[in-house]
A and B are shown apart, each in its own frame.
Chain A
Amino acid sequence: MQEQKVITANQLTKVFGNFTAVDRISFEVDKGEIFGFLGANGAGKTTAMRMLCGLLLPSSGQATVAGFDVYRQNEQIKRNIGYMSQKFSLYEDLTVRENIRFYAGIYGLSDEQIKLKTKSLLGQLHLEKQEKTLVRDLPLGWKQKLAFSIAIVHDPAIVFLDEPTGGVDPLARKEFWGMIYETSAKGITIFVTTHYMDEAEYCNRVSIMVDGKIEALDSPARLMKTYGADSMDGVFLKLARKATRVGE
């Protein structure tokens, strides 16, 4: 049963000085789930995510990611997860192919695997003709799709997406979510944080953090029913209005 849970968190807490950024959160994420992690700025989302990625040691509580303990096994965690964010992306002054090669290499793939992966990746994204194009010259939508593909090039158990879709055009965004669906269907778990409430509706389940605590955790449909809202935006507004923390 435990193997099915890609993330487990129990009373996970992070304290900075006398400020409790993350206040005893507990939740679980199943394998292959698309899990949305929402919250206003300053609610503690980023801190929580960093703990799960093995980048920050918790102050107290337990958590495991891909079966590994966040306190003692964070190197294994890093090897088994993928990460993509809007701020970090690919190297703009390297080509598509060079970026793939670089990241695949960092993730520990052998040369043989890198060759195979590069070929299949370029094929999937229909970027065969652009393999020598500098990433900087790709349209934003393509960059995102490429970044996502690279984030999962090593077939991790779970991929963390930190605000992945910025101001891309709707079509590119749809295609991006199509890729996420496909990835989830393959059994890779998706953990996504986003500002776009409508994107929350793509998720199987969504958790909303307010002032360091998880105030709601359920499927979008049930959340909308519980809070009497017709969109995730409405749900979020109802919860966020209760917040006492006013941003950074």
Chain B
Amino acid sequence: MKQFLVFVKKEFLHIWRDSRTLFILIWMPVVQIVLYGFALTNEVKNSKIAILDESQDEATTVIIDRIDASRYFQVIKHLHSYKEIEATFRQGKVRMVIVFPQGFRNDLLHTHHAQIQLIADATDPNTANTLTNYASSIINDYQETLDRDLKLPYRINAQVRMLYNPELKGAYNFVPGVMALVLMLVCAMMTSMAIVREKEMGTMEVILVSPLKPFRIIIAKTIPYLLVSMLNIASILLLSVYALDVPIAGNLSLLLGESILFTITSLSIGILISNSVKTQQAAMFTSMMSLFLPTLLFSGFLFPVENMPIALQIISNIVPAKWYYIIVKQVMIKGLGIQYVWKETLILVGMTAGLLAISIRNFKIRLE
């Protein structure tokens, strides 16, 4: 047992003394969260828009005020004629133009039917979509208040409610994604590199010719990264809750338990990779290609998997991160309990057991 503990201690020393790696390990998750939270966002804020208000009545004024007041829009120009619209877009100054036709209020009151035109610059279709949606929902809100005032019955309203994330904050989506990514990277890549480094340095030869069981070598190599991962999870969760206002709606212990499970999954992949490569560079590259990229692409946090062709959807099923991402969303954001994630958990457990079995069996007790 002492053998084993000494080995674990040695591994910690290696990590501690390699300041570059340490820096990445500790700071990377923090940086990612900060970046995603404050800088990179697929939310659209303060988009510059222009208004062509041909009515200029009470109704249009109220709507325009509301739009300008929202944090999504910034009205920078009032146009005076239709002809200016194209020129304004050409100049690239605005992403959207809202057009209120003449007699807007009148139409609304008397025919219960009025039109507003939203013209968006769709060269970035996603943003255009988002902007028109934002605008529509503001307009709908107004419509509702009108309805209340006028007390008119039989109005069919499309109510849009955004569940769990009414403000449509991007953070709710990417925090689980970042957790999956960071764990996968830290555990798999770092672990595989740590094991292979021993091979590269030549010390693996010496350790093998000792009473130390190879099994214990692997476990000793993985424990430090297990602990570092826990640290990372803690820091991500703390940042999410206190800096980004993403609450932990569900059971914290369940969340941590699932995270530990996923950590072990990633560690097993790391061990598997280390069995088949000879240099740290190869370990890093393999981890990047076979783990980081698939996690980024197929876990669902950047791109919805349901929108992908069937073949890719099937592939996404073997990416462990996908299942973890679902679990975290269910537990952390939706606040659901184990009864809703048992399927995904079971899948992860199965994957982990399989991977561990293979990687430990394949661990080479000789050099060839």
A contacting B, Cβ–Cβ less than 8 Å: no
Interface residues of B (CB under 8 A from A): none
